[in-house]
């Protein structure tokens, strides 16, 4: 099969599946809404004062789009992290963004401060900066392993801080735990816009440097092939980490999406990043959209619980398959 066809067919199939799933997700809930009415609301044929419009436009549609955007960011960032760090276990949280965001949110919740998402974003960026300072090294000493170790160290320290805050949080500890496990129950159109912009940034970055990612992930010496790996890896890791920080500040920490989806898609697409990245973005959007629907249907469970229940067995299967 030609490379273009190898991308086009699964891209169209995943796009259609995502669109159909989105329509279905919006139609189900405590108040079922026929899919024809959902289309009528979205197209404007049903007035905004109608209760169906309020449910669709104010609650279900922004929540579904926010979940899809978050899944796209996490899966796309997972592709970039695994390619740059040369580690199949790398994910968007490897450089401590999630732990930093969780610490920022935990502090805000414990102190009763407003704008928890802002504190989470600041915490994520601060953790990323600290990991970058500790792990980047010089041109001679820089390596993916050094960055990963810095991420592990910073994550461990910040994780201890989160544990301490939970011990001191009193009645707020339940809220902290729920935030740490992820939720889209309070999604807004503003969050949809930020999530969509972050997903677009990951897509553009990954496609623009797709050839460089192929070279770096191949294990060959990038500089001998004309790739400035220090500059390219810095741009890709920082860009995808910023996008991840936005998502974590919106929805909390949602695991396994950025780890499992790239591995699943790689089975179909192969290792070439110009195919792997867009398909992973669509796959991540679909997975998290359906996971959030399951969480919502089961009494507003944290979506991170659902992704762990789905992603854990899948990852075990992938490990068994490649043994």
Summarised one tens digit per residue, pLDDT across range 234-289 is 899 999 999 999 999 999 899 899 999 999 999 888 889 999 999 999 999 999 99
- What percentage of the chain carries pLDDT values higher than 90? 53
* Token reading at 229: 């790996």
Q: What are the structural domains of the chain?
A: 10-321 (1.10.3470.10)
Higher pLDDT, 47 or 279: 279
Q: Nearest-CA neighbor of 98 among 150, 160, 151?
A: 151
Query: Which residues have C-beta within 8 Å of that of residue 319, sequence separation ≥ 6?
Result: none
Reduced to 3 states (helix: H, G, I; strand: E, B; else coil), residue 142 is coil
User: Per-residue pLDDT for 42 more than 70?
Assistant: yes
Residue pair 100/123 in contact by the 8 Å Cβ criterion: yes
Q: What is the mean pLDDT of the chain?
A: 88
| pLDDT score of 203 more than 70 | yes
The least confident of 73-87, 207-221, 285-299 is: 207-221
Report yes or no: 291 and 66 within 8 Å, Cβ to Cβ.
no
Which among 76, 82, 94, 66 is positioned nearest to 204, based on CA atoms? 76
Non-local (6+) Cβ contacts of 5 within 8 A are: none
Contacts with 259 (C-beta within 8 Å, 6 or more apart), sequence order = 78, 89, 91, 311, 315
Alpha helices in the chain (DSSP H): 3-27, 35-43, 51-55, 61-85, 97-111, 116-135, 144-168, 173-181, 189-208, 210-217, 229-251, 257-269, 273-297, 303-321
Residue 194 burial by Cβ neighbours in a 10 Å radius (0-12, 13-18, 19+): buried
Which of 49-53, 62-66, 76-80 is predicted with the least confidence, judged by mean pLDDT? 49-53
Out of 9-18, 24-33, 254-263, 313-322, pick the least confident: 313-322
**Cβ proximity of 148 and 90 under 8 Å:** yes
For residue 117, pLDDT over 60 is answered with yes
Alpha-carbon gap, residue 128 to 96, rounded angstroms: 6
- Geometric angle at alpha carbon 96, from 218 and 285, rounded to 5°: 70
d(CA 66, CA 250): 9
Which residues have C-beta within 8 Å of that of residue 34, sequence separation ≥ 6? 27
What is the distance between the alpha carbons of residues 306 and 230, in angstroms, rounded to a whole number?
37
pLDDT of residue 185: 87
Dist. CA 162–CA 100, nearest whole Å: 9
Query: Helix, strand or coil for residue 298?
Result: coil
Q: How confident is the model at residue 299 (pLDDT cuts 50, 70, 90)?
A: confident
pTM of the model: 0.92
Worst-scoring range by mean pLDDT, 5-9, 109-113, 114-118?
5-9
C-alpha radius of gyration, the chain, whole number: 20
């Amino acid at each position: 099969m030609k490379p273009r066809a190898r991308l086009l067919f699964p891209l169209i199939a995943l796009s259609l599946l995502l669109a159909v799933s989105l329509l279905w997700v919006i139609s189900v809930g405590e108040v079922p809404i026929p899919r024809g009415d959902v289309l009528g609301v979205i197209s404007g044929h049903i007035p905004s004062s109608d209760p169906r419009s309020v449910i669709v436009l104010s609650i279900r549609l922004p929540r579904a789009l926010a979940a899809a955007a978050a899944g796209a960011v996490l899966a796309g960032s997972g592709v970039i992290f695994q390619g740059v760090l040369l580690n199949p276990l790398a994910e968007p949280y490897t450089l401590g963004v999630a732990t930093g965001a969780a610490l920022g949110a935990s502090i805000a919740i414990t102190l009763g401060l407003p704008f928890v998402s802002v504190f989470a974003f600041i915490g994520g960026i601060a953790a990323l900066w600290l990991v970058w300072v500790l792990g980047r090294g010089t041109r001679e000493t820089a390596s993916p392993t050094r960055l990963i170790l810095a991420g592990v160290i910073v994550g461990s320290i910040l994780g201890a801080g989160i544990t301490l805050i939970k011990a001191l949080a009193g009645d707020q500890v339940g809220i902290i735990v729920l935030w740490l496990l992820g939720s889209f129950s309070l999604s807004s159109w503003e969050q949809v816009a930020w999530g969509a912009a972050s997903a677009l940034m990951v897509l553009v970055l990954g496609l623009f440097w797709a050839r460089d990612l192929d070279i770096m992930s191949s294990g060959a010496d990038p500089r001998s092939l004309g790739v400035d790996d220090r500059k390219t890896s810095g741009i890709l890791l920082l860009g995808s980490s910023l996008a991840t920080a936005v998502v974590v500040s919106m929805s909390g920490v949602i695991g396994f999406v950025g780890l499992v989806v790239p591995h699943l898609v790689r089975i179909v697409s192969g290792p070439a990043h110009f195919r792997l990245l867009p398909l992973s973005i669509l796959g991540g959007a679909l997975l998290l959209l359906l996971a959030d629907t399951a969480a919502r249907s089961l009494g507003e469970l944290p979506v991170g619980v659902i992704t762990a229940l789905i992603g854990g067995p899948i990852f075990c299967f992938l490990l068994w398959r490649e043994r």
